[in-house]
Amino acid sequence: MDLQIRGKRAIMAGGSAGMGRATAERLAEAGADLVISARREERLVNAAREIAQKYDAKVTPVVADSSTEDGRRALFEACPDPDILAITIKPPNPNGDFLDLTPDDWRASIDTALIGPIEIMRHYIPVMKEKGWGRIVNIATFSAKNPMLWRLMSGPARSALINYTASVSREVAQYGVNINNILPGMFATEGAAELLETYAEAFGLEPDREVVTAHFREHNRIPAGFVAEAADMAPMAALLCSPLSRFIVGQNIVIDGGQHHSLF
């Protein structure tokens, strides 16, 4: 399927690893010129080089923390006029006892998982409106609609993010700017591997891969029967970034192997 994005300018904010990188790869493969950002430089630069070589694409790495004003400014300067904007960020680690969460913990979660994406969208929406076309995709989390006690630093801020996009997407669709969200379930990414120890701590387990995996399986039934790879969500992200998604507005697409059990 031709995604019809050859030559379009795309930002993948959070594009050096995991689902961000997998999305960047699909966009590069379809011929978009990419800017990818992340906080850690070495992995970012390597990812940009590898994607550029693999798909014969133009890929510019920008070291930028989406949760800070300085980081967002670096992104805006590197790519003033994208056609496509995909955003993902890493929220604070899984929490332990909810009674121990402080106002500072909540502020960190909100700065990262809510204000970061909102500020990036707020900057680029007028640019896309002016052009009469744009695509925005947030890669958030299924815990936005599937609350989890150990993911209070991720889910509530993302519930607010999808509330925001539900309203804003319906305002900007008339200008050809479509905003949608992907809500991933459990994916075996670099980011998930980094959480092994904090997950173990949150549940009082040994920080051992086998122990954590067994606990995880027992408490998270995934009807599809497996934990996904980042590449399992990237085709949907790429579709939402393309002109082919022109009638898809303000949706939250759960990709979780059926784990979240609901009608909508």
Strand partners, 37: 13, 62
> Applying CB under 6 A, does 65 fall inside the site for ligand NAP?
yes
Q: Tell me the per-residue interface mask from 10 to 49 with ligand NAP, x by CB under 6 A, - otherwise.
A: ---xxxxxxxx----------------xxxx--x------
HSE value, Cβ hemisphere, 13 Å, CA-based, for 121: 25
Q: By C-beta, is 2 or 104 nearer to ligand NAP? A: 104
Q: Select the residue interacting with ligand NAP from 23, 169, 181, 189 (CB under 6 A).
A: 189
Structural contact between residues 149 and 96, judged by C-beta atoms closer than 8 angstroms: no
Q: Select the residue interacting with ligand NAP from 67, 109, 159, 242 (CB under 6 A).
A: 67
Q: Select the residue interacting with ligand NAP from 5, 23, 66, 252 (CB under 6 A).
A: 66
What are 16's two structure tokens? Answer: 């050096």
DSSP letter for 219, please: H
Q: What is the Cα–Cα distance from 169 to 180, expressed in whole angstroms?
A: 8
3-class DSSP string for 133-199: CEEEEEECCHHHCCCCHHHCCCHHHHHHHHHHHHHHHHHHHHHCEEEEEEEECCECCHHHHHCHHHH
Site size toward ligand NAP, by CB under 6 A? 32
Q: Select the residue interacting with ligand NAP from 45, 192, 222, 231 (CB under 6 A).
A: 192
Q: By C-beta, is 3 or 186 nearer to ligand NAP? A: 186
Report the interface residues with ligand NAP, using CB under 6 A.
13-20, 37-40, 43, 65-67, 88-91, 112, 139, 141, 154, 184, 186-187, 189-192, 230
